[in-house]
Amino acid sequence: MKPWKTLSRHTILEHSKYLTVENHEIELPDGTIIPDWPWIITPDFVNVIAVSYEGKFLCFRQTKYAIEGVTIAPVGGYIEDNEDPLVAAKRELLEETGYEASQWIHLGSFCLMPNRNKAIGHSYLARDAKYVKPPDSDDLEEQELLLLDQNELEKILLQGEIKVSSWANTVALALLRLKSKEG
């Protein structure tokens, strides 16, 4: 299986550190040329589903600009320049919840838009989390911290209340992994 070739690329929108758009000229394996393939550049990010040493999962009830109503969300945020994903994950957990975790499991690293965006979301399960200090979040949204049992979290997930695919994926992978260890 051959990858597509990028013949040329040029920037068509430079908005901010949150968004740049390029136009790519692409050659397919059969020689077909696509002259105007849009390519979206957005920052990499992390998602963390943390579980406390008492077995409580840390989630937020929050609003987001692109979402109708409220959603349940794991911890998450953008990776800073040159920051290691695991360092970003630990930083976000501490900033948003005030918890630190001793055991970190990488659940996978995933692309959002496989056709036109290379941004990667790194998903983690953080176990044995303990509250160490008050949270200090720079998030713009209103949010409320919830401490959920595993069964409650699975019910919320399967009912579609975690409304973002990268978030639901992080929680679903953590639950599958925990079940496969129990089984």
Note the residues at the interface with a second copy (CB under 8 A): 1-4, 12-13, 15-16, 18-19, 21, 23, 26, 28-29, 32, 36-38, 40, 42, 61-67, 70-71, 73, 107-118, 121, 140, 142-144, 154, 157-158, 160, 163-169, 172-173, 175-177, 179-180
In three-state secondary structure terms, 112 is strand
Token code pair at residue 16: 């901010």
Ramachandran bin of 128, using left for φ above 0, alpha for ψ from -120 to 50, beta for the remaining angles: left
Nearer to a second copy, 23 or 137 (CB): 23
Q: At its nearest, how many Å lie between a second copy and the CB of residue 149?
A: 15
The closest of 157, 166, 61 to 107, measured between CA atoms, is 166
Opening angle at CA 114, ends 154 and 18, nearest 5: 85
Rounded Cα–Cα distance for residues 166 and 15 (Å)? 24
Do 119 and 39 meet the contact criterion of CB atoms below 8 Å apart?
A: no
Cβ-based nearer residue to a second copy, 117 or 137:
117
- Alpha carbon 176 to chain centroid, angstroms: 17
Q: Which of 134, 183 has the CB closer to a second copy?
A: 183
- In the complex, the smallest distance separating the C-beta of residue 14 from a second copy, rounded to whole angstroms, is 11
**Is 135 in contact with 98 (CB distance < 8 Å)?**
yes
Minimum CB distance to a second copy, residue 66 (Å)? 5
**Minimum separation from the CB atom of position 100 to a second copy (A):** 25
**Complex with a second copy: residue 19 or 132, whichever CB lies closer:** 19
Q: Which residue is it, tokens 């990010």?
A: 45
Which residue, chain included where needed, has tokens 């959002």?
A: 112
* Nearest approach, Cβ of residue 8 and a second copy (Å): 14
4/131 with CB nearer a second copy: 4
